[in-house]
Structure formats: structure tokens, C-alpha cells
Structure 1
Amino acid sequence: MKKHTYILASLLLVSGIALAQKENIKRANKLFKMKAYTQAAKTYETKERTQEVLQNLADSYYYNTSLQKAIETYRELFVKYGDSIDIEYHFRFAQALKGVKNYKEADEHLSKYYNKPVNTLEFIEANNKITPHNFKLKEIVNEGSSSDFGLSFYGENKVVFASTRNTENPSYAWNELPYLDLYTATLTNSNTLINVQPFPEAINTSLHESNAVFTKDGKTMYFNRTNSTRKKTDEARIAHIKIYKAELINGEWTNVTALPFTSNSYSTEHPALSKDEKTLYFASDMPGTFGSFDIYKVAINDDGTYGEPENLGETINTKHREQFPFISEFNVLYFSSIGHQGYGGLDVFRSNMVNGGFDKPVNLGNIINSNLDDFAYVIKEKDNVGYVSSNRTGYDRIFSFSREENPLTKYLVEGVVQDKNSKKLLPGALVEIINQSNKTIKDTVVGENGYYVFKLEPNKLYKIRGTRQAYIEQELEFLTGNYGKSHNIDINLESLVSVEERIHQNEKGELHVQLDKIYFNYNTSEITNEAAKTLDVLVDLMKKYPSMKVEIAAHTDARGSEQYNLNLSKQRAALVLEYLVNQGINKNRLKSVGYGETRPLNKCIKEGICDDEEYDINRRCEFTILK
């Protein structure tokens, strides 16, 4: 009997231990799904190392940047259960390996993941040759906090950032640091944040607030805030993130409201404003993404409403995370991605706006980017200075940077502007570079040596245009080659005088269109049928040369008062201008001037001294080419 009682007690004990084990695993899984990775890892560490436990334990270490522990656990997972592991674990294991710069082993897993060869060291070497800028990075001194990130511009002298420095806030289950709040500060010349002040309670709550961006007038702010309610996902409840808008009224932040396209079912985060403040860029994992978080844009309408969010497409977004967009005053999109090839973790990329879309992203290189997460990049393009956040030191930190052009990445286009026939150099000529959006992006006026040089992006299609007064405009299309190369394009302009018999140059260097004389009947401003036929010659000439601009100068004879003649000449010039416009010439290409009797061609400078034919000579219209 005692024996049976002992066996029964043992069975109950084993059963109880198994039940407790099962309950503990269930609790750990719930913590994992809630992204409470630190607490989840502590429980998993004590459990039997099944495939599920190893997978979640490795991921918990990975998401909390405990990379050595993550690597050891992933490696154990692949040794024990390699044939049955989901392909996504190859990606995360590779990222953990890249985080400690073990690129060789990382590439083995990435090659399996992408089903094609991956060579990170080769990429790093090549990327140094295509990164548009060289950077100098310096950590910002910010005492009183173990974690700060997401610095943004706030007026002329202040900045705003997110920080965990408020120890009265509850701890975040993900990393057990206090919840984030937003702070203002002044950044000194010695790269130190001083006068750090929290935003008021209307902005900072018991939840997370971060990633603020402001309109130029400082009266509107967009920022992140986690939801106060959690959305149930399987057994766990996830607090998603929303973008909020706040208004500064009478010195106080008020009207704090979530944007209409936010949701309790997905996150919207990391707002960024276009230069004209008519477009808001942000990151989201809303339905319709390519996998994880994607970059979106949404129109801000004049009446304060918003359009429908638009995904920026697969050129920018991958099946992995794209976050922290920033759009510069030059319409360059900067963002962080773990999906595009990089150095490890989130890397910062740039993409130029072309024809309303964005071109292939370029990694900013190994100063801005590290083997860990680099994000929240903002810049003042004209000043070549900005800020970026990174956890390369173990915690999130803010860095300032300056930059200069990387000479290895530019394609040089150079040449001289000269007369096509005489080969004489043409100082004063304007040379323009035009992009595929038909916008002039660079220009210069050549000096006495006629020489120009431009630094352009490689492997792109451009046009180059040369113009000079008295010459025919020339425009050529060309394709730049590889980085660090150059291309010589001499611009040969042909003189209008040499190709158009009706165009002559006077002793002052002025160009005149020589037409049959346009005579006006005495004391009228009407254009006769004969005058119209003559003006049609000018119409054809101006249509032939679309950039030509002409001054219409009308003159009278000396009969009548000076004021009357001045007014009459203005009427005549205006009437000629109107005729040309009616024939299809843009009014912006024309200028009408009335000189009255002030510029006679003969001695008939006053009334009563000449016969009618001599006076008729001064009653005329002249056409001077302005451009």
C-alpha cells in the first residue's frame, strides 16, 4: 500500500512539474507576443530547449540587441533543428552575425535566404565608391539619460528629441527602460544639449511619445504616441502607435488629435514633412505593405483634411522594415531600412525624387551606418549638417554630423563654349544642366576662358544647354557613366547673324531683325495689310527660335506735340505686340517701347522743315533681339 501511495505521489509531482512547465512556457510565449522580450528571455532561459523555446529565446536576445547570446542560441537552434526551421530565422541570424561583423557566416545564411550569392565585404568596398558624401560624426553630450534618439529641428536655435530620462514613467516591457517622453533643448557649439525641458502634459503622457516634427512657423507638431488600448492578436495584446497632431495656440500645445488614417489595428509612426508642408511621409505596417513596415506618403489638403495614404512602392520598400523617413529641402528622401543591403541592422539610405517618384536607394556608407541600428537621420542640405541616431554604443544615442562631397562618386562633365565657325571662345554664355524632370538643376556663366565644369550623379540621363545673346541655343542629351569618370562636351554655338540674313549686328553689338519697313498712316496706329505681311516674317523667325526675345520699338515723326507723339508711338508698339501674340507668340517673349519723336533717322527733328517723304522715314518700327 505504501509503495502504491509513493508511486501515486511521484506521478502527481511529475504531473505537477509538467503542468507548471507548460504554464510557464505559455506565460513566456504570451510575454514574447507582447514584445516583452527581456522578461520572456528570463523565462525561456530556464526551460527545456525545444525548437519553440530556442526560436523565441534567440529572437528575444536579437530584438534586445544581446547579439552574442542571440548568435549562440541561433547556432544551437540550427544545429538541432536545421531542417525544420522557417527561412526567416536565416535572415535574423544573419543580422545578428553582421552585428558583430561576422560577415562570412552571415553571408552563408543570407545566400540561403535570398537564394543567391551575397557578399557583404564586396558590397562594403563597392559602396565606398558610390556613397555621395563623406561624413564626420560626433556624439552629442546629453547627460541624465541612458537612451535618447530622434532629434529634430525646432526653430532657429532649439532641437527636440525623445528620451527615457523620466524615471517616474513606467518601464517598457521590451527593454525595461522608462517610457519615452519628448524634450526641447539647446545644442551648444561644443555639441552639448543644455536647457533640457520636457513638453507639457498635453504632449507627454504615461505612454510613449517620440519623433516630433514641426511646421516652419512652429505652430503645428506631428509626433508618435502609443495607443492607450491594446489590440488583441491571438493570445497577446499589442499597443500600436499613432501619429498625432498638436497646435500651438497662445503659447500652449492643444488640440492634440490622432490623424484620421491611424488605427488601433496597425501602427503609423515617424512623421516627416515635405518642404512645402503639403505632404506628410511616415512609416506603417498597415494592410498593403510589402511585409513589415513600409514608407508611405499622404497629402495634406488646404482645408486641413488628408488624402489617402500612398505606399512609396517596391523601389523604396522591401518585405522587411523601412522606417524613419525624412524629406529634405532638395526633395531627397532619407530613411532607414534593414531590407536593403547594408552593414547590419537598420542602415540609412537616400533616394532622389525623379518625375514624382524615387530612384534606387543608396546606402550612406560606413560613417553614418554601423553594424547595428542607425536611424532618424535629418539634415539641412544647404549647410551640409544634420543629426542621426544609433545604438552602436549599446544604447540609443544622438550624433551630429557634417558632410562633404565624395569626389569618387561624382561624374565630371566639362568643356568650353565657343563659336561654331570661328572657334572663338564665348565668355558670358550660360550653360545649364537639365534633369529628366526637365528642370534646371545646375547652371553657370562661363568666364573669359569659356570653360565650365559640373559634378553630376553617375549613370543618369541629362541634357546640357548653352545659350548666349546673338547665338542660337544648343541643347544636347547625354548619359553619365561610372563613378569617378569624366566626359568632355564642347558647346558650339552658331551666330544668328551667320545663319539668318535678316539679322544684323550694329556697331554697339545690338542685334536687329531687318524687315521691310512698317509704315503707319499719318496720325494713326492701325496696322495695314502690308504691315501684317511684314510682321508675319518676324512671327516665323520667333517660332523657329523659341527662346528668342524681341523688343518692339515704335517711332514717330516730329509733326505734332512731343507728348502726343510719345503716346502715339506707345500705342503703335503695343498694337504690334498684340498682333504678334495673336499669331501665337508668347507675350513674355515680347517687350513694347514707344520712343515718340526722340530718335529720328534724319534732320527732320521739328515740324515744318522737311517734306512728307522725309518725315515718313522716321515713322517706323524696329525690332531688337534681347535674347
Structure 2
Amino acid sequence: MKTFKLYILCAVLITGNLCFSQSKKADILYENRAYVEAAEIYAQLPKTTANLEKLGDCYYYNSEFDNAYNAYKQVYNLKDKTKPSDGFYFKYFDVLKGTKNYEEADEVSTLHLNNSINTKKFKSLLKQIIPYEYELESLTNEVGGSNFSVGIYGDKIVFASTKNLKNPNYKWNGKPYLDLYEATVSTGKTMALDSIEPFNKAINTVKQHESNAVFTKDGKTMYFCRNHKKRIDLDSTKVAVVSIFKAELVGDEWTNVSPVPFSSDTYSTMHPALNDDETKLYFSSDMPNTLGSFDIFYVDILGDNSFGEPVNLGENINTIRREQFPFIAKDSTLYFASNGKPGFGGLDLFSSSVSDNAHLDALNLGESINSEKDDFAFVVVDSLNTGYLSSNKSGVDNIYTFKRIETNRNYYIEGFVTDKVTGDILPNTTVTLYDKDGNPVAEQLVGEDGKYKLSTKPNQKYSLEGFQPKYIPQVEFFDTNDKGNIEFNIELEIESYKDAEEIVMDDEEGNTYIELENIYFDFSKWDIKPQAAKTLDVLVALLKKYPRMEIQLGAHTDSRSSHEFNMDLSEKRARATLEYMVENNISRARLTSKGFGETKPIVPCGDNCTETEFSINRRCEFIILK
């Protein structure tokens, strides 16, 4: 019995030592990004949080999302409550989308990523606003290996591929290193690649990756990606650094192959793209001070092999995740791939138009082009309606051609008009939509429900005004950028003049008037005296403060003369007041003058008034009409 117990103890110790040894070996492989070999070992180890997460990572980083899902789901459901890594929940969220488990993905995002998402609603809304539907056709199914990222090179294309089986295998994914290839694209019932050849021995290397070539229009300069031979240590992990290289065609030879000066040995620059006039080079990088793991930047091309400083495209484009594979179309629209913006899984393709030299919020290109897997490397050819993209939706990277068909999009702005102070609905308010130059493009008089709805166009700058008589017009500025909204809601809360100004109030008859010191005229005179001018200057300032305010200038007399005389005198006094306002740069169109004679006394004392009562009735009033 003792011998048997000793045997069991030895077996446990041997097994434990073996597990420890295997775990250490797997961790070393994992740290060196040899994910295929590491996964084989992690799959045999005890199902702890750490082992399962690293197993899922090995699959995740090689886009094997079904296997990654099985591993990550176990981590998520483990009862031992061991905390996974900080990045686990995003990876799990990404895998859930990549396997079309959108409801679970929404839950993980809401609970663990502080980002409430409703994918079902997002998909429905996106269908209404995407500018194009895309028809796709695979171009590289028969080529073999992994193929992606097209560059236009004269009448040929240049792309990256692992089709060279003679190349050594890359430990990350167990596949050959990437090389650049050139080919012609034949057209017919189906499109295909002809005359596929390795690009150039001066560019392709044996134990390094080359990819993402872009060429100047004259074909004499190219930019491409190549990884460094030596990895760097980053947080105890070996990281491969990728740099953009530049090469020049001299005669028939590619020469002067060297990294661009803004590349580095400590961070990556990749995925070069030229704008149409070749004055800017766009790229993706994880250089210091990026917003996320990879951001999109550009540098100015200054000539003489010099470049400007990298400029980050900012939050309209970049997120805390990955933004990569930029492409600039002829119309300056930026296309790029991101896994940090709302999408369908993995990298999705987005576009961003330019307004006032700035990129607007990006728009997901929709389900006809984006899948639950990685969709990237979008390139538009000259027609702007055909081009190429890359995707691993079939399980391996392939190049697709696309044709895009314009869709009908109906944008609109809507909301309610309410009183800013009381919150009451304000019927009969005029809501006017202005373009960026201030020209009115639409107008609506709201009904009893106080609701307005006006048609707009995408990627436009607008202002919206709510105008109600006796209220201060409110103006709101907005732009219909393609960030996933078709309806823009703006609640117009407008404030009445009487709430904004102490000297404005209502009388018993429902009139809104401006209460100022009385204006005194000499007996039977209508000229504006200096004291009256001081009072009217307050009114001038108020009208300048509110450019849409319109008023009625009403003059009243006492009852000591005939009706005809008093009406004529009051008309003259009202007109004199109006002319003073005009002389002080108040538009005549905003002013109305009216004489009332003695018909509207404040003190109805007839002919038995005291001097004080006569003076009270002899007055000017300022009624707000609009």
C-alpha cells in the first residue's frame, strides 16, 4: 500500500513538472508570436483563465475566430473569477462580432467596454444612409496562399501574397513570408489575374515581409512595407516592427531602397497611400501619442527626399483601437479600415469626406462590402465606381474586385420648438434651414404639436433657426456628416423677449411692450429733445441687440385740443421718433409709426385732468410686433 501511494505521489509530481514545463514552453512561444505552435500546447494544458485566454489569443491573432470564440467563451464563463487581462473583453467582443454573435457582443460592449451598442438598430439605420451598394467578385481564389492589398502600377496591379511555397515559414502563422507580385487583370464574364510574376528581386527578400505597394503616377517611385529583421522588446514581448520603404526606378532597376525618415526602429509605419496630386503620403502607425493601437497620419511630401512632420488625422478618423490601410480617392474622400468604430466584426471599411480641409466623421460602408471578418485595403480606380478590396471572409485573405451602385439616401432634421423658460410647445413657429452660406433652403411653420421636419443632404453644413413673434430667434449650427445618422434631432428652445429683458413686459390687452421713461415734447411740437434722445438710445441699443425685433412706435396726446389736431400731432411725433431711430442705423423696415391722438388715455379723465394726468396721457409707447 505504501508503495502504491508513493507511486501516485511520484506520478502527480511528474505530471505537475511536465505541465509546468509545457506551460513555460507555450509562454515562450506565445511571447515570440509563434502562435500556431503555442496553441497546440495551450490546448493540452489545464483550463485556467490564463491558459484559455492565451489559447484564444493564438487563434485570434491568426483570425481563427471560431476557435478563439470557444476559448474566450470559457474564460468569460469561468467560475473561479480569476481576472482576465485588460484587453480580454475587447478581444472577446471582436470575436463575438466575427462569429456573428451580435447580441452577445452588444452585451459585452455595454457591460465591460462602457459602450452601449445595438447592432440590430445600427444595421437597420445604416441601410438607409450608405451611399453605395457593392457587387463583389473574388480575384485570387485560384492563386493560392494569402493575397491582399492592391497597388495600381500602370496597366498592372501589384499585391502581397504568401504564394511562394519555397519561402521559409513565418512562425506567427506557419505560412510563407509575404512577397510582392505583379499581374494583369483580364476582363470578361469573370475577372482573373494573368501573368502573375514576383515583383522585383531588389524589393522582395527571403526572411522579411513585403506588402502594401503604392506607386507615383509616372511609375518611378514606389512606397511599400517591410518588417525589420530584429524584433524589439515591448513589455516583455517581442514585437515585429514594420516600416515604409521608398524605392526609385532608375532605368529598369529599382534602387535607393531605404526606409522613409519618419519611420523608426521602435514603432511601426505601414500602409502607405498617396493623395491624387502626390503632395501627401498617408500611412498607419503606432508611434508615440497615437489615440489608439494604430492611427492614420499623413506627411507632406516636400521633394528632395524630404517629408514634413507626421500629422494625426484626429478623432473623426482614429479611435482607441486600430485604424489602418488608408486610401485617398480623386475626390479627396478617405477610405480606411477600422475595428474601433461601429461595425460588423474585425476590420470594417469606412469613408470620410472632406469639408473645409477637415475630414468629417467616418461612415461604415455597409453590409454589402463589410463582413464579420476583416475587410480592408480598399482601392478605387479612376472611374470612382470600381476598384479592389481585400478580405478574409472566406477564411483566407483574398482580393476582390467591386462595382458600386449609388443608392438613394434621405436625410432630415427634426425636433420640437418649446419655450425655453416654461417648456411649453410653441405652435406657429417658423423653422428655417440655411446652407453654409446663409441661404434659406427649407422652411416650415410648425403646427399645434410644435414639431418640425426638414429634408437635408449628407455631408453638408447647415444652420437652423426657430422664429416666433415676440421671441428671440434661436440659431443652431450642425453638419450632416456620415457618422451613422440619417435623422438629426435638434430641440429648439427659444426665449421670449420678456423673459430675457427686464424692460419688456405684457399689458392687460396682451401686447408686449418696452417700458422706457416717457418721452416729452414741447406743447404742439414734435422735435426730439435731448432728454427724449437719451431714452430712445436705450431702444436703439435693444434693437441692435436683437436684429429680428420689429416694433410699433405709438404716439399719444392729451385731450386739450381738437380730435383732428391731436391725431395730426401724434402722427408727427411718431414719425419723428421713427426718423430718429433710422438716423441711428435701425432699418426702416423694422419700424412702424402710428399716431393715436387722445383716443387711448391711460387716465380717462376727459377735460377735467390735472396737469400730471395730462402729462401721463401725453406719451410714446413701443409695442413689439415681432
Q: Common fold, TM-score beyond 0.5? A: yes
Q: In the TM superposition, what whole-angstrom CA distance separates every residue of 1:465-484 from its partner, at most 9, and x where no partner exists?
A: xxxxxxxxxxxx99779859
**Deviation of 1:17 (Å):** 3.8
Alignment partners' CA distance in 1, 2:21 and 2:264: 33
Check the 8 A contact 1:90/1:112 in 2, yes or no: no
How far, CA to CA, are the matches of 1:95 and 1:378 in structure 2? 25
Q: Which runs of 5+ in 2 are unaligned?
A: 414-433, 439-454, 464-476, 489-626
Match of 2:108 in 1: 109
Letter in 2 for 1:51: T
Partner of 2:287 in structure 1? 286
- Alignment partner of 1:140 is 2:139: yes
Match of 2:347 in 1: 346
Q: CA deviation at 1:22?
A: 2.0
- Does residue 1:64 correspond to 2:65, yes or no? no
Residue in 1 aligned with 2:196? Answer: 196
Q: 1:403 to 1:410 in 2, by over 3 A?
A: farther
With over 3 angstroms needed to count, the CA separation of the structure-2 counterparts of 1:116 and 1:306, relative to structure 1, is closer
Q: Structure 1 residues 436 and 147, CA, compared in 2 at 3 Å: closer, same or farther? A: farther
Find the counterpart in structure 1 of residue 167 from structure 2. Answer: 169
2:259 aligns with 258
Which SS does the other structure have where 2:304 is aligned? coil
Q: How far did residue 29 of structure 1 move? A: 1.5
Please give the secondary structure, in 1, of the residue aligned with 2:308. Answer: coil
Tell me what 2:370 maps to: 369
C-alpha distance in structure 2 between counterparts of 1:322 and 1:435, whole Å:
32
Compute the displacement of 1:404 (Å): 2.3
Secondary structure, aligned partner of 2:27:
helix
Shift of 1:237: 2.6
Q: In structure 1, how many angstroms separate the alpha carbons of the residues matched to 2:223 and 2:214?
A: 5
Q: Which residue of 2 aligns with 1:382?
A: 383
> Cα–Cα, structure 1 residues 483 and 47, in superposed 2: closer, same or farther, change >3 Å?
closer
How far apart are 1:337 and its partner, in Å? 0.2
- CA distance in 2 between counterparts of 1:411 and 1:154 reads 42
Task: After superposition, give the CA deviation of every residue in 1:255-296 in whole Å (9 maximum; x if it has no partner).
Answer: 100111212211111000111111111111111112211111
1:94 partnered with 2:77: no
Q: Report the 3-state secondary structure (helix = DSSP H, G, I; strand = E; otherwise coil) of the residue aligned with 1:92.
A: helix
3-state SS of paired residue (2:93):
helix
Q: Which amino acid aligns with 2:343?
A: G
Deviation at 1:410, TM superposition (A): 6.7
Query: In the TM superposition, what is the alpha-carbon distance from 1:240 to its structure 2 partner?
Result: 1.1
Q: Distance in 2 between matches of 1:398 and 1:141?
A: 6
> Which residue of 52, 55, 75 corresponds with 1:54?
52
The offset of 1:356, in angstroms, is 2.4
Q: Any idea what SS the aligned residue of 2:303 has?
A: coil
1:37 corresponds, among 20, 32, 35, to 35
Shift of 1:90: 2.0
Which stretch of structure 1 is more off in the superposition, 106-115 or 359-368? 106-115
Q: Is the 8 A contact 2:387 2:402 kept in 1?
A: yes
Normalised TM-score (structure 1): 0.64
Distance (whole Å) between structure 1 residues aligned to residue 82 and residue 233 of structure 2: 32
Q: Check 1:34–1:479 CA distance in 2 against 1; reply closer, same or farther (3 A cut).
A: closer
SS at match of 1:24: helix
Compute the displacement of 1:399 (Å): 0.5
State the partner residue of 1:585.
none
For the structure 1 residues 48 and 97, does the alpha-carbon distance in structure 2 shift closer, same or farther, using more than 3 Å as the test?
same
Residues 174-214 of structure 1: CA deviation (Å, up to 9, x unaligned): 22111110011000113100000102221000110000000
Whole-Å separation in 2 of the counterparts to 1:456 and 1:160: 41
Maintained 8 Å contact 2:49/2:83 = no
Give secondary structure in 2 for the equivalent of 1:46. Answer: coil
Equivalent position SS for 1:301: strand
Residue equivalent to 1:23: 21
Q: Distance in 2 between matches of 1:131 and 1:331?
A: 18
Q: Is the Cα contact below 8 Å between 1:354 and 1:437 reproduced in 2?
A: no
- 1:400, 1:437 → 2: CA distance? 40
The structural deviation recorded for 1:102 is 1.5
The offset of 1:309, in angstroms, is 1.1
Q: Which residue of 2 aligns with 1:75?
A: 73
2:243 is matched by which residue type in structure 1? K
The aligned amino acid for 1:197 is E
Determine the C-alpha separation between the residues in 2 that align with 1:410 and 1:386: 27
What is the distance in 2 between the residues matched to 1:174 and 1:153?
A: 29
Alignment-mate amino acid for residue 24 of structure 1: Q
- Matching residue of 1:127: 126
8 Å Cα contact 1:132/1:410 also seen in 2: no
Amino acid at match of 2:202: A
State the distance in 1 between where 2:214 and 2:390 align: 15
* Equivalent-residue separation in structure 2 for 1:457 and 1:378 (angstroms): 26
CA contact (8 A) 1:142 1:193 kept: no
* Alpha-carbon RMSD: 2.9
Residue 300 of structure 1 corresponds to which residue in structure 2?
A: 301
Q: Which residue of 2 aligns with 1:181?
A: 179
- 1:426 corresponds in structure 2 to none
Q: Distance in 2 between matches of 1:64 and 1:33?
A: 15
How many angstroms apart in 2 are the aligned matches of 1:120 and 1:483? 16
The number of residue pairs the alignment matches comes to 432
* 8 Å Cα contact 1:147-1:163 kept in structure 2: yes
Kindly indicate whether the alpha-carbon contact (under 8 Å) linking 1:142 and 1:192 is maintained by their aligned counterparts in 2: no
Structure 2 counterparts to residues 384-399 of structure 1, below 5 A: 384-399=385-400
The Cα shift of 1:350 comes to 0.4
Structure 2 residue aligned with 1:333: 334
Q: How far apart, in 1, do the equivalents of 2:214 and 2:109 lie?
A: 36
Shift of 1:35: 2.2
Match of 1:84 in 2: 83
Deviation at 1:160, TM superposition (A): 0.7
User: Per the alignment, in what secondary structure is the counterpart of residue 307 of structure 2?
Assistant: coil
What residue ranges of structure 1 are gaps of 5+ in the alignment?
Answer: 413-433, 439-454, 464-476, 486-627
CA distance in 1, matches of 2:179, 2:35: 21
For the residue of structure 1 that corresponds to 2:88, the secondary structure is helix
Alignment-mate amino acid for residue 408 of structure 2: P
Work out whether residues 133 and 406 of structure 2, in 8 Å CA contact, stay in contact via their aligned partners in 1: yes
C-alpha change, 1:88 and 1:141, in structure 2 (3 Å) is: closer
Question: Match of 1:89, as an amino acid?
Answer: F
Alpha-carbon deviation of 1:58? 1.4
- In 2, the alpha carbon distance for the partners of 1:284 and 1:480 equals 29
* Alpha-carbon distance, 1:382 to partner: 3.4
- Amino acid corresponding to residue 100 of structure 1 in structure 2: T
Paired with 2:106 and 2:81, the residues of 1 have a C-alpha distance of 17
- 1:12 positional shift: 6.0
Distance verdict in 2 for CA 1:117–1:204, change over 3 Å:
same
In structure 2, give the amino acid aligned to 1:170: P
Query: Which sits farther off after the overlay, 331-340 or 88-97?
Result: 88-97
Aligned CA distance change for structure 1 residues 368 and 114 (closer, same or farther; 3 Å): same
Residue type at the aligned position of 2:69: I
Whether contact under 8 Å (2:49, 2:82) holds in the other structure is no
Is the 1:408–1:484 contact (alpha carbons within 8 Å) kept by the matching residues of 2? no
**In 2, distance between residues paired with 1:117 and 1:235?**
34
The AA in structure 2 aligned to 1:387 is: Y
**1:266/1:460 Cα in 2 relative to 1: closer, same or farther (>3 Å)?**
same
TM-superposed CA distance for 1:235, in Å, is 4.4
Q: Distance in 1 between matches of 2:301 and 2:379?
A: 21
> Aligned equivalents of 1:229 and 1:89: distance in 2?
28
Cross-structure match for 1:561: none
Aligned partner of 2:277: which letter? D
| Aligned 8 A contact 2:50 2:84 in 1 | no
After superposition, give the CA deviation of every residue in 1:591-627 in whole Å (9 maximum; x if it has no partner). Answer: xxxxxxxxxxxxxxxxxxxxxxxxxxxxxxxxxxxxx
Partners of 2:412 and 2:186 lie apart in 1 by 37
The equivalent residue for 1:458 is 458
Structure 1 counterpart of 2:118, which letter?
N
Structure 1 letter corresponding to 2:213 = A
Q: CA deviation at 1:3?
A: 6.0
Summarize deviations over 1:372-412 as a string: whole Å, max 9, x none: 10000010263411100000000001100111221125789
The answer (yes or no) to whether the contact 1:161–1:212 under 8 Å persists in 2 is yes
TM-score (norm 2): 0.65
